[in-house]
C-alpha cells in the first residue's frame, strides 16, 4: 500500500503503535500490556524505523549533561514545593490526575527491568523520531525531507514543545521545558542521535529515581 511507503512512516510508526497500545488500557493490563508494548514497539522500530534512526551522536558527553539537566528540572518543583502538583493547574479534567505514587500492582525484577528498558531504550527513540525527527521539520514544510534536521522557525519550535508538554498530562509544565530543551539541542547539534542520548539519559535517571526512592509516579 502506498501509505506504508510514505517517507514519514519510519518516523511516525513507532510512536503511533506505542500510543495505540497504551490506549488499549484495561485490555492489556499490568505485565501483559508492558510485555506486548516492549516487544511490538521494539519490532516496529527495528523493522520499520531503523532507516531513520541515527546511532552515532556527535556530542555524547554534552548530550548526557542535557539529559541530566532535564531530569533535575523534572523533579525539582515537587522537591522544592511539596504539594505543588496538586494545584488545579496540573490536576484538572483536561490534564488528568497524577499517577499513583504507591508501588504498582505488578512489580518484581522482571517488571522493573522491562519498564526501565521501555523508558530508556524504546521511548527516547520513538519519541525523538516523531517529535524532533519528523514534526519539528514537517511544521516548517510538509515536504519534511527538504528540511534539514535542526531547522528553526518560532512556530515549529513552540508548537512541537507545547504538544510534547500536553503528552505529559499533569507534568505539562516540566514537559514544556523538556520539549524546549530537546528542541534546542536538536537545533544546536542537528543530530537525532544526540537528542536520543539526551532523552535516554533523562529517562534513565528518572527510572533510577523511581526504583531507588519508590517514586513510581515519575515513571517516564
| Report field, pTM of the whole predicted structure over 0.75 | yes
Range of the domain at 135: 55-218
Residue 187 C-alpha cell reads as 537545533
User: Which pLDDT belongs to residue 106?
Assistant: 63
User: Which pLDDT belongs to residue 3?
Assistant: 56
**Would residue 30 count as lying in a domain?**
no
Domain count, the chain: 1
pLDDT tens for the chain, 220 residues long, are 555 678 999 999 999 999 999 988 767 777 888 999 999 999 999 999 999 998 899 999 999 999 999 999 999 999 999 889 988 899 999 999 888 776 666 678 888 999 999 999 999 999 999 999 999 999 999 999 999 999 999 999 999 999 999 999 999 999 999 999 999 999 999 999 999 999 999 999 999 999 888 888 888 7
**Would residue 15 count as lying in a domain?**
no
CB-CB contact of 195 with 128 (8 Å): yes
Write the burial class of residue 42 (CB in 10 Å: 0-12 exposed, 13-18 middle, 19+ buried).
middle
**Would residue 48 count as lying in a domain?**
no
**Would residue 131 count as lying in a domain?**
yes
Q: Is 37 helix (H, G, I), strand (E, B) or coil?
A: helix
**Would residue 174 count as lying in a domain?**
yes
- Torsion over CA of 116, 118, 124 and 128, rounded to 10 degrees? -170
Amino acid at each position: 500500500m502506498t501509505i506504508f511507503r510514505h517517507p514519514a512512516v519510519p518516523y511516525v510508526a513507532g510512536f503511533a503503535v506505542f500510543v495505540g497500545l497504551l490506549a488499549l488500557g484495561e485490555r492489556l493490563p499490568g505485565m501483559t500490556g508492558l510485555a506486548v508494548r516492549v516487544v511490538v514497539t521494539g519490532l516496529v522500530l527495528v523493522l520499520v524505523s531503523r532507516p531513520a534512526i541515527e546511532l552515532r551522536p556527535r556530542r555524547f558527553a554534552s548530550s548526557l549533561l542535557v539529559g541530566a539537566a532535564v531530569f533535575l528540572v523534572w523533579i525539582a518543583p515537587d522537591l522544592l514545593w511539596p504539594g505543588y502538583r496538586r494545584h488545579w493547574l496540573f490536576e484538572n479534567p483536561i490534564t488528568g490526575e497524577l499517577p499513583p505514587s504507591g508501588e504498582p500492582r505488578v512489580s518484581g525484577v522482571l517488571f522493573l527491568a522491562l519498564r526501565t528498558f521501555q523508558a530508556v531504550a524504546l521511548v527516547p527513540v520513538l519519541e525523538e523520531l516523531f517529535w524532533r525527527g519528523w514534526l519539528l521539520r514537517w511544521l516548517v514544510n510538509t515536504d519534511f525531507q527538504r528540511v534539514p534536521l535542526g531547522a528553526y522557525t518560532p512556530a515549529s519550535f513552540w508548537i512541537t514543545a507545547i504538544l510534547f508538554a500536553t503528552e505529559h498530562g499533569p507534568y505539562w509544565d516540566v514537559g514544556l521545558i523538556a520539549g524546549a530543551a530537546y528542541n534546542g539541542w536538536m537545533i544546536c547539534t542537528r543530530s537525532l542521535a544526540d537528542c536520543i542520548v539526551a532523552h535516554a539519559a533523562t529517562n534513565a535517571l528518572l527510572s533510577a529515581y523511581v526504583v531507588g526512592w519508590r517514586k513510581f509516579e515519575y515513571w517516564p
